[in-house]
Amino acid sequence: MVEVSLTVGKLDASLALLLTKDHHLIEFPTILLPNGVKAGSIIKIKCDQDFETEKEEQKKFQEIQDEILSTFGKNLPKSPNLKI
Amino acid sequence: MVEVSLTVGKLDASLALLLTKDHHLIEFPTILLPNGVKAGSIIKIKCDQDFETEKEEQKKFQEIQDEILSTFGKNLPKSPNLKI
Amino acid sequence: MLQATVASIPEAKEEYLGSSIVERTSRLHSFADLGPADLCNIHKQSTTSKKNTEIGTFLYFTGVDTSNSASIAAHLQSLATLIGSKSQYWFGEKKHWKVPELTYCTYNAFSKVDMRVTVHIPGKFESHVVNNDGKFVHDKISDEELDNLWLETFVSSIVRCMIDSDDDDANKVGGLVEVRKINPFNNGKASHKLLKYFIEGFEKFFWDGPKLGCGVEIPQPSLISNYLVDGFLKVIQLTQSYDLALEALQRLEEREPSVITLIAQVLLLKDEEIKAVQLMNEGIEKNKRDADLLLLQAQFCMDKKRYDLALHLAKQAVKSSPSDFKTWAILVKAYTKLNDFENALLTLNSCPMNSHKEKYSLKRVVPLRGGNEDLHLPSPVDVTLDEVSNLQSNEISYEQRNLDPQLVNLPAANLKSTFAKAYDLLTEIVMKTGWESLLKYRAKVFVMEEEYRKDKHANGHTRKNSTNSVANGGENASENGNASENDASSTVAIKSPKKEINGTSETSPSDASTKLDESYENEFKKKRLCERWLDNLFMLLYEDLRAYTIWQAEYVHFQAQQMEYKKTTLEWEILGLIAFRLKHFKEGSIAFANALSGRFSAKSQREILKYYIMERSKILSKNSNNSSSQSSNDNSSTYTHNYTKIVNQLNERILESCIKLLVWNHRWYVDFSPTLINTLADLVSKEGLIKIQSLVQAVYSNNINPSDNTGNHGITDMMDDLYTFFKEYESLGFDN
Amino acid sequence: MLQATVASIPEAKEEYLGSSIVERTSRLHSFADLGPADLCNIHKQSTTSKKNTEIGTFLYFTGVDTSNSASIAAHLQSLATLIGSKSQYWFGEKKHWKVPELTYCTYNAFSKVDMRVTVHIPGKFESHVVNNDGKFVHDKISDEELDNLWLETFVSSIVRCMIDSDDDDANKVGGLVEVRKINPFNNGKASHKLLKYFIEGFEKFFWDGPKLGCGVEIPQPSLISNYLVDGFLKVIQLTQSYDLALEALQRLEEREPSVITLIAQVLLLKDEEIKAVQLMNEGIEKNKRDADLLLLQAQFCMDKKRYDLALHLAKQAVKSSPSDFKTWAILVKAYTKLNDFENALLTLNSCPMNSHKEKYSLKRVVPLRGGNEDLHLPSPVDVTLDEVSNLQSNEISYEQRNLDPQLVNLPAANLKSTFAKAYDLLTEIVMKTGWESLLKYRAKVFVMEEEYRKDKHANGHTRKNSTNSVANGGENASENGNASENDASSTVAIKSPKKEINGTSETSPSDASTKLDESYENEFKKKRLCERWLDNLFMLLYEDLRAYTIWQAEYVHFQAQQMEYKKTTLEWEILGLIAFRLKHFKEGSIAFANALSGRFSAKSQREILKYYIMERSKILSKNSNNSSSQSSNDNSSTYTHNYTKIVNQLNERILESCIKLLVWNHRWYVDFSPTLINTLADLVSKEGLIKIQSLVQAVYSNNINPSDNTGNHGITDMMDDLYTFFKEYESLGFDN
């Protein structure tokens, strides 16, 4: 887990400019900021890996692959190719 | 507090490209990502306002202002302006 | 076989003898990616004039066999013979030339050297290798290295002649015309050897493919996406040599798993759909972040109309390669097909733009000091079709001068690179939503850039500055107050709600930021900033729609008044292009047909050809549905009759369009048009060669209607060349 | 007072009568920000030639009183009289002209209209207002509105003439020379009225200031930072009218609190330091995110050498306005002063670049069809100084042709906008660290861009594309393999460690990303990507350092051999500029002195003038320290003696430099140089007017040494004009 403190340097329609202590400049969507945050506010960001969602998504993706294979990847009896 | 789930689309030397569910693209410093994160990983970001640090910084800033005022903003007896 | 004539060789005069070579040498260091077309320098002596003065000319070539110095020497020799064989009109004077010396330069894009062959007549030939600095490095090269350089050169040449787009007008204003393009694979048995040699070269240099550059949809060439691979696939499709390709690719796949995407692509070209699907599935199992493969799979699902599946794949592709335009583009398409327009707009807004790249096209290396005065552009007389070959340029320039000002310079027509592609995605959306709804969707998801124009943020720190090279119209307008106000009055419908804050308070930084702080929590926070380039595309879309709407309204009005709606060919063509940009294909095709009823126009002909092909495939796919569901239906035979009639009609139109374009290309020394060959090959596969042959014979036997501008000559000979090509490569349908 | 002569009027020939006005009209819509210089169109009839043919000429003006149409008419009238009063050499022929008509155009940058006055001689004058579309809109304007337009026009003119940099060479190659610049405030009592009128206008249009644009350090003009404010402050400094300014600003502050920054700035100019400090403190109490005020406070602390305090303020400024270059720049400076080079580099890397903006400069509006052949550029004879006025251009072009190739086009010399400023920050760092340590610091904090060149990311999605307009050298080199290899061999010391991954695997997307995934957790993760533009600046720095080092080494070598180290003036000048860029001011000043010993050069003179001023302020500040600490010292009187001698010497050199530059400017029709006036005013405040006057009198009374190229004429008259100016505005020291 990583936790870090950032200053909101600027607040725009949809993007905020955040500054780290060591002068990193980060563009950050305002939608991800808590309510009440203003230019000049300081925020804490915690960042964690989300293994659960990873697994879920993987499963869903596998289902899509299976569906594609079963729909288009099997030798169906071909409809007769009419020649006119 | 805001919590959100993001996919790591790409991982560079210092910047990662993160994607939100609704197709926001965020440049994010890799230094803020937890160890073990790879391209394709999913991460959770929690964001909180940090009132304590705000107060601290405010105090420190006030001290600087006071020092400036007391150093340069008081009528000291002028050293005589030597005309040569 | 159609023999080249001296009238098929365009030439440009050099400033002084050999200056074209000097110029090329001085520019070698600036050649990027594939490099320019081959250059041929010709020394000419007049046999008629007394003084023994030599002049120098030059022209460019693509498609010449550059696999070794001897084959280039042979090409030069035959060129010299051709020029010396007959007298010709040379800038108004009848001249008989002798050619004592020729030099051919062809660029090796792998090793970044220029390979050169000089032939002395009579005499021997010599070859040189020239590096980036213009220095001869031939001496330092071993025989083995030299063989390798020639193979690289050959592969470079073939890729160049395949990638060079034949979509563009061969004779566009200011473009390169002193170039002759030859089909490298239409040389009987010998071309089979060349094909094998090319595939061998492809396999060998596959790992250096990125050196050749790539198209505009990706920012950087990769092993799987680059011009070498593009050229290879085009050769395979042209010659239908799928099995040769698969062998080579399977060997490469053992070393590089991502080659699986290319194998699947060739299987799809070969119509082995099930195999391809299985292979793609296997590939994804191995690497579910292979963006190229995900893209191919997504495209496949789109083609099968399974947009739900495509959506999932496109999302995964974006996650796997978020800096590529093409992954985002297919996501936009999937959302659009699924009528999820809000997400379509949001993803469109996230597409990474690529403003620095241009499509590959052949360019002049040697500038024409005297402009067009330096050009000798003879008219080939061996293949002609009056309406095409006799097209007068003064007629076109008359139309240009008198062009309806409303139709001049519609900025959407000049979009380049990813901006053009993004516009295409946007028109697909508006096609389904209509303009008014589109504006509502836009207002729902975006905060408009102009509401934040004062915003300092817009400068150094955002992606927005990638858009500065968008069509100038919009940019200029926003730069000075008055102009943009004038603009506002004409595009009032497109403007988002006027700013409420005004003047004073708006420009005060402290003030503005307070305002923003207060309000951002509600509306703005949920919306996203619309990228400036997308904002600009909306503007261009409005202008296209306005022009289109005016045209349609006028047309109805004229019809009601029973008046003729008169436009020049050029105007119809522009209207057709607007309609096609807006996906109103039916209306566009009418405009192009009107354009072509006035005079021949290569652009209109090419566009209407696309329409015919689109229509045919629509009918064919409808029929395959019908034939399964309605096979027991009573109307079956009437249906079949109608269907056959329509398809036959379309096929005839396609054939006619191809032939006219082939004649046009031939007039401009272009005897290799991959797209047209593929179209005809497709026709042959559907109808059989015999039917096509007899159709051509019936309509284009020499000199049928010399009176009504349909007189023609040599067309059957020209087509014979193509039949030979189809037979040589055993194209589908060549044998019935 | 120095009367203008006909030889002070440069002219350019029009294509046809009135064409310059037509050209200007057609370009009105493209004028941005402040707009171009005023244009004056002159119709001329030869009284000597028989045929009554008229020709048209034009020139540009700045500094003319444009406060109403009558004053412009008066200016035109006197111009006509001047031209008609005497015959003159006109392209080699002696001609006597009559002027029947003149038109003057001056751009109102607030309302974006062109104000025009035409005078017929004999006859009346008329005035017009022309809008962006080139239409006359005079009729629709009420008298009150018209008065307002004229006030706007006047303010625009004054701001233009103040902002137009007089740092640049008046006669630089290809630049605008057909322009005459006048001091708008050197007109006796009348100019006091103009000054008041300008301040009135400033106060009235303060809210529209952002319309006039801003310099390169900020992306967008704000109320506090824009050309109107810049021009205002320059006028206040020039005329030392601090109290007038403070009154106006205090009224503005009531409505807009951020004006406090400007008040503090004026207080500092007025030398009321304590008041300024208190005011800044108050302002910050009210709004601790006022970036402009924080910047001013930080700069103040820097000047006081309290870098620790400046650092805190700079950090707060960056947090308050992170998209401005200037907030970041001062943070870099503070870190550099505090020897925290790692943070200096990290913050430098975060500076937002502004590649689209250019410094304001006067440009041609009317192109010269015939090039320089169209220019009539007489030599004024009223003020001359032989070595300056007789400078031969063929001497300079000889030096240019024979220039040491090592010194041609050092790319750092051509940096523009924020890139030039960032380079300045970088050289401040290297000045303290040296090159080798700088490389180590760099390697410690950055991953180099080239290690990630293949990286797709570099395209659409990062800020990196803001750097594409950096000096071309670097960009081109990286675009084609060979060139960049050659490049590598010459700059091998600068390259970061070679990539370990090579060829094949590097270009394979799947492969590369796996590699990256594995390794990113250790080294790379802690480092930051070096922006491409910064990478490029390191390259340029290396080239500057190399040239500098070679020069210094050669010099030592020649000295050891007791040989003369010979260079042309141009070469010395370039060496001086390199040294100044690298902050080796002593070495630079030697080079400029060498340059000037060969012949006069305006650039060298200007640079060495800066050096003299820098040296003097160093000595003065050292003395003020010494005088307090050493007042009881024995050596005190010897010290004072030496000190006085050095300061006197520097003052004489400063005076001499100013005079030479004034003569040079006068030769090129520039009779207004704010920087030089300020320098002289400073001298007067230090030494008293009487001393300066007698110094000038002693050296420059007419025609002293006509033999040795120091002959002169009219210099005392020219200086009298300035004395009058100082007296008029009661400059410090004018009365002793």
* A17-75 tens-digit pLDDT: 999 888 888 888 887 888 889 999 999 999 999 999 999 999 999 999 999 999 999 87
As a whole number of angstroms, the distance between CA C338 and CA C404 comes to 39
Closest partner residue to B27 among D309, D461, D526, by Cβ? D461
* C151 in Cβ contact with C65 (< 8 Å): no
As a whole number of angstroms, the distance between CA D538 and CA D532 comes to 10
Per-residue pLDDT band at C468 (split at 50, 70, 90): very low
Sign of CA dihedral D337, D338, D344, D350: negative
Per-residue pLDDT band at C707 (split at 50, 70, 90): low
Does residue D432 register a pLDDT over 50?
yes
What percent of chain D shows pLDDT beyond 90? 63
Does residue B13 register a pLDDT over 90?
no
Domain D216-358, second-level architecture:
Alpha Horseshoe (1.25)
What's at C472, amino acid-wise?
Answer: N
With contact defined as 3+ CB pairs under 8 Å, the chains touching D are A, B, C
With contact defined as 3+ CB pairs under 8 Å, the chains touching C are A, B, D
What's at D467, amino acid-wise?
Answer: T
Strand D528-529 and strand D446-447: pairing?
Answer: parallel
Structure-model confidence comparison of residues C417 and D641, the more confident one: C417
Per-residue pLDDT band at D1 (split at 50, 70, 90): low
Closest CA in chain A for residue C626: A82
How far is the CA of C333 from the CAs of B22, C347, C438, D421, D658, in angstroms? 16, 10, 15, 45, 68
Question: Cβ of A84 under 8 Å from any chain C Cβ?
Answer: yes
Give pLDDT, residue C276.
Answer: 96
Cβ separation B45–A45 shorter than 8 A: yes
Closest CA in chain C for residue D457: C323
Instruction: Give ranges for CATH 1.25.40.10 in chain C.
Output: 216-358
Q: Which residue pairs from C131-137 have beta carbons closer than 8 angstroms and sit at least 24 positions apart in sequence?
A: C131/C28, C131/D482, C132/C28, C132/C29, C132/D480, C132/D482, C132/D483, C133/C28, C133/C29, C133/D482, C133/D486, C134/C25, C134/C26, C134/C28, C134/C29, C137/C113
As a whole number of angstroms, the distance between CA B84 and CA C656 comes to 100
Give pLDDT, residue C310.
Answer: 97
The position carrying tokens 């696999």 is C67
Cβ separation D274–B74 shorter than 8 A: yes
φ/ψ of C327, rounded to 5, equals -70, -45
Q: Which of A61-70, B68-77, C271-280 has the lowest mean pLDDT?
A: B68-77
Mean pLDDT of B19-46: 88
Cβ separation D525–B82 shorter than 8 A: no
Structure-model confidence comparison of residues D604 and C499, the more confident one: D604
Give pLDDT, residue C366.
Answer: 92
Give pLDDT, residue A36.
Answer: 87
As a whole number of angstroms, the distance between CA C296 and CA D674 comes to 67
The whole-angstrom distance between D525's CA and the closest CA on chain C is: 20
Of A76-80, C17-21, C357-361, C627-631, highest mean pLDDT: C17-21
Structure-model confidence comparison of residues D569 and D190, the more confident one: D569
Give pLDDT, residue C288.
Answer: 94
Mean pLDDT of B40-62: 93
Cβ separation C508–D256 shorter than 8 A: yes
pLDDT tens by residue, C19-45: 999 999 999 988 999 999 999 999 999
Give pLDDT, residue B36.
Answer: 87
Structure-model confidence comparison of residues D477 and D648, the more confident one: D648
Does residue D629 register a pLDDT over 70?
no
Sign of CA dihedral B34, B36, B40, B44: negative
Give pLDDT, residue C736.
Answer: 78
Give pLDDT, residue D506.
Answer: 36
Give pLDDT, residue D538.
Answer: 96
* C717 in Cβ contact with C723 (< 8 Å): no
Give pLDDT, residue B79.
Answer: 55
Rounded mean pLDDT of chain D? 85
Q: Which residues on chain A are in Cβ contact (under 8 Å) with C529?
A: 12-15
Does residue C639 register a pLDDT over 80?
no
pLDDT tens by residue, D206-221: 999 999 999 988 888 9
Per-residue pLDDT band at C455 (split at 50, 70, 90): very low
Closest CA in chain A for residue C302: A68
Structure-model confidence comparison of residues C638 and D525, the more confident one: C638
Does residue D387 register a pLDDT over 80?
yes
Sign of CA dihedral B7, B9, B12, B14: negative
Structure-model confidence comparison of residues D96 and D523, the more confident one: D96
Structure-model confidence comparison of residues A57 and C465, the more confident one: A57
What percent of chain C shows pLDDT beyond 90? 63
Give pLDDT, residue C500.
Answer: 31
Q: Which residues on chain D are in Cβ contact (under 8 Å) with A17?
A: 322-323
Give pLDDT, residue D499.
Answer: 31
Give pLDDT, residue A77.
Answer: 53
Per-residue pLDDT band at D505 (split at 50, 70, 90): very low
pLDDT tens by residue, C579-594: 999 999 999 999 999 9
pLDDT tens by residue, D662-712: 999 999 999 999 999 999 999 999 999 999 999 999 888 866 555 556 688
Tell me the count of B-D CB pairs closer than 8 A. 87
Ramachandran category for residue D672: left, alpha or beta (phi over 0 → left; psi -120 to 50 → alpha): beta
Greatest C-alpha distance within chain C: 91
The whole-angstrom distance between A17's CA and the closest CA on chain D is: 7
Q: Which residue pairs from C586-589 have beta carbons closer than 8 angstroms and sit at least 24 positions apart in sequence?
A: C587/C548, C587/C552
Q: Which residues on chain B are in Cβ contact (under 8 Å) with D455?
A: 12
pLDDT tens by residue, C88-145: 889 888 889 999 999 999 999 999 999 999 999 988 999 999 998 888 988 888 999 9
Give pLDDT, residue D523.
Answer: 52
Which of B8, B10, B12 to mutate to probe the D interface, most D CBs <10 Å?
B12
Per-residue pLDDT band at C621 (split at 50, 70, 90): confident
Mean pLDDT of C258-270: 97
Give pLDDT, residue A76.
Answer: 60
Mean pLDDT of C181-204: 93
Give pLDDT, residue D336.
Answer: 98
Per-residue pLDDT band at D643 (split at 50, 70, 90): confident
As a residue count, chain D comes to 736
Per-residue pLDDT band at C50 (split at 50, 70, 90): low
Give pLDDT, residue D501.
Answer: 31
Does residue C509 register a pLDDT over 60?
no
Three-state SS across C158-225?
Answer: HHHHHHCCCCCCCCCCCCCCCEEECCCCCECHHHHHHHHHHHHHHHHHHHHHHHHCCCCCCCCCCCCC
* D389 in Cβ contact with D7 (< 8 Å): no
Does residue D406 register a pLDDT over 70?
yes
Per-residue pLDDT band at C48 (split at 50, 70, 90): confident
CB atoms within 10 A of CB C693: 15
Bridge partners, residue D127, by sequence: D117
How far is the CA of C473 from the CAs of C223, C415, D170, in angstroms? 38, 11, 35
pLDDT tens by residue, D169-178: 655 666 889 9
In this prediction the pTM is: 0.73
D65: nearest Cα among D155, D200, D171: D155
> What would the two tokens of residue D118 be?
């035409």
Closest CA in chain B for residue D272: B73
Mean pLDDT of D181-207: 93
Give pLDDT, residue C610.
Answer: 96
As a whole number of angstroms, the distance between CA C525 and CA A31 comes to 6
Cβ separation A23–D322 shorter than 8 A: no
Does residue C380 register a pLDDT over 50?
yes
DSSP-derived 3-state class of residue C330: helix
Rounded mean pLDDT of chain C? 85
- The set of residues, in sequence order, having a beta carbon less than 8 Å from that of C198 and lying 6+ positions away, is C154, C155, C158, C232, C235
Query: For the CA atoms of D148, D154, D155, D159, what is the dihedral angle to 10 degrees?
Result: 160
Which of B4, B6, B19, B25 to mutate to probe the C interface, most C CBs <10 Å?
B25
Give pLDDT, residue D449.
Answer: 53
Q: Which residues on chain D are in Cβ contact (under 8 Å) with C466?
A: 460, 465
Cβ separation D322–A10 shorter than 8 A: yes
* C116 in Cβ contact with C127 (< 8 Å): yes
Does residue D48 register a pLDDT over 70?
yes
As a whole number of angstroms, the distance between CA A34 and CA A32 comes to 7
Structure-model confidence comparison of residues D511 and C20, the more confident one: C20
First to last CA, chain D: 22
Per-residue pLDDT band at D479 (split at 50, 70, 90): very low
Per-residue pLDDT band at D640 (split at 50, 70, 90): confident
Give pLDDT, residue C632.
Answer: 52
φ/ψ of C685, rounded to 5, equals -65, -30
Mean pLDDT of D287-305: 96
Query: For the CA atoms of D618, D624, D629, D631, what is the dihedral angle to 10 degrees?
Result: 120
Q: Which of C684-688, D251-255, D453-457, D522-526 has the lowest mean pLDDT?
A: D453-457
